[in-house]
Structure 1
Amino acid sequence: MQIPIVACVLLYANLALGAPGTLMRRQRAAERLAERKLSRSSNILQPAENEVAVASTGNDTAHPEYSSNWAGAVLIGSGYKTVTGSIVVPTPKTPSGGSSSQQYSASGWVGIDGDTCATAILQTGIDFTVRGSSVSYDAWYEWYPDYAYDFSGITIKAGDTITMTVTASSKSAGTAVIENETTGQRVSHSFSGETDALCETNAEWIVEDFSSGGSLVNFADFGTVQFTGASVNGGTGVSGATIIDIQQNGKVLTDCSTSGSSTVVCEYTG
């Protein structure tokens, strides 16, 4: 049972009986939770507008697709039930030309559907956010088109190894699991009876410029995100995947590729 957002905020405030700093941290956590439930969401792949030809960067991997919000690799097929991959958590930075007073974010996740199948996405991942010298991370789960929800009970810092797994037990049910291999923490969420059905035809390893309040957030310089141990249904890796890069306002911001059968690498180039 979900607690109403207002009640959740009051609960955090009432529990804050310790030092003022504890009260402030709990209030901020409640505010972030309320804001996320109202507005944070991933989106299906959005083709880039006004796509322009891009000169080769020396990367041998073909780039048949550009998107305004997704970068990474997508397998297109059928019967995709489980998708997994691990990343080392990056330290996001304010992009060149950005303002230290503004907030910039990116998200690394694994998922099922959302490219050629637009009805739903089962996904889980990590958000990376920077404002000035302050960096924060959130672990979340989502059954799109519903909003994303934060996991509790897991801490994340730069350099941690995070394994993300989604499993579809049917086209309307499944699980999302995040494990912090560095700390040993593990969190999960189960979905059931979802009205927006999966197709089980796309498997993804994605760095996303996600949405808040209906618009793309300011995209962070995430450095490099490398998905390792990328697998589908416990075996099939990323061989043959479509590579996608983010292109906004005629500028390509990422350079993604696959390496071997189980690694996807995305570099911020904006």
Structure 2
Amino acid sequence: MSATIRITAASAVAAAALSAFATAPSAVASAGPAFRHTPVASHRLVGPGGRITHSTSSNWAGYAASGGTFTSVSASWVQPAVSCGSATTYSSFWVGIDGDGSNSVEQTGTEADCSGGRASYSSWYEMYPAYPVNYSNTVSPGDHFTATVSVSGTSFTLTLSDTTKGWTKTTKKSSSSAQKYSAEIIAEAPSSSSGVLPLSNFGTASFTASTANGQPIGNFSPDKINMASGSTTKATTSALSGGENFSVAWNHS
């Protein structure tokens, strides 16, 4: 979870972003960062010591395998369509290495946010604790995505493919601090320095072909994580089917 807020210093940049938002049609894909909000969302687990406790998290839902050395993680999903009310809300869908019990996360995925009753969709990669970086490619609800993060030594390859629109983004980054201790496939309520942000109503996100180290993630006895805040369950994760398929259902913002 990021402990900082990205501040937009130039008022012209802020005005341009607000103008783009004001003129964008409802529930239409956003190409890149025009719909990103300040504070900027980050994608790291919140919890004591950075660990998942009792298979619940304040901002993650999905599956996390830990306790070994992980060199790859991959999954496919259909980009959910969010239902927007008057509140500003956020949701992310991604695969990553590290983050459960470590201070880094190497991840890539998609975003589905709401502001002023309008939906925006985007894609990104993040080498936490660095800020997330948005791709400029257009994302639409219903697009089919496949994401993979792999590592060899200190070199990470983050690949995100929109197989509906036919584009692929491959980013190569290095990290000497990555522990490669966990692998995750997650639906998330992103966060800012003020804490976990409200979760967009994404309905149900379905993940398929979920693998770690080239094997079904179920082979690693992963944690099944539900998202909860106090007594409120925000998102519920299904059981694994075939060791590699599951869904996450939205319950509450």
Answer yes or no: same fold by TM over 0.5.
yes
d(CA) in 2 for partners of 1:70, 1:263: 17
**TM-score normalised over the length of structure 2:** 0.79
SS at match of 1:238: helix
d(CA) in 2 for partners of 1:86, 1:164: 6
Structure 1 unaligned blocks of 5 or more: 14-19, 48-62, 95-99
Do residues 165 (structure 1) and 162 (structure 2) align? no
d(CA) in 1 for partners of 2:120, 2:202: 12
Q: Is the 8 A contact 1:42 1:147 kept in 2?
A: no
Counterpart residue type for residue 235 of structure 2: T
Q: Is the 8 A contact 1:227 1:263 kept in 2?
A: yes
Do residues 119 (structure 1) and 103 (structure 2) align? yes
Do residues 101 (structure 1) and 86 (structure 2) align? yes
Of the three residues 181, 188, 199, the one matched with 1:201 is 181
Question: Deviations for 1:60-91, whole angstroms, at most 9, x for unmatched residues?
Answer: xxx94111111110111322111010110111
- When Rg is computed on C-alpha atoms for both structures, the one with the higher figure is 1
Structure 1 consecutive aligned stretches of length 4 or more whose deviation exceeds 3 Å: 28-33
d(CA) in 2 for partners of 1:64, 1:30: 35
Shift of 1:173: 2.6
Do residues 259 (structure 1) and 244 (structure 2) align? no
**TM-score normalised over the length of structure 1:** 0.75
Of the three residues 123, 126, 129, the one matched with 1:139 is 123
Structure 2 unaligned blocks of 5 or more: 1-7, 25-30
CA RMSD in angstroms comes to: 3.0
d(CA) in 2 for partners of 1:187, 1:214: 31
Count of aligned pairs between the two proteins = 229
The alpha-carbon distance between structure 1 residues 236 and 132, as it changes in their structure 2 partners (threshold 3 A), is: same
Counterpart residue type for residue 178 of structure 1: L
d(CA) in 1 for partners of 2:145, 2:187: 14
Question: Deviations for 1:70-120, whole angstroms, at most 9, x for unmatched residues?
Answer: 1110111322111010110111124xxxxx33211111110111113x221
SS at match of 2:159: strand
Do residues 148 (structure 1) and 132 (structure 2) align? yes
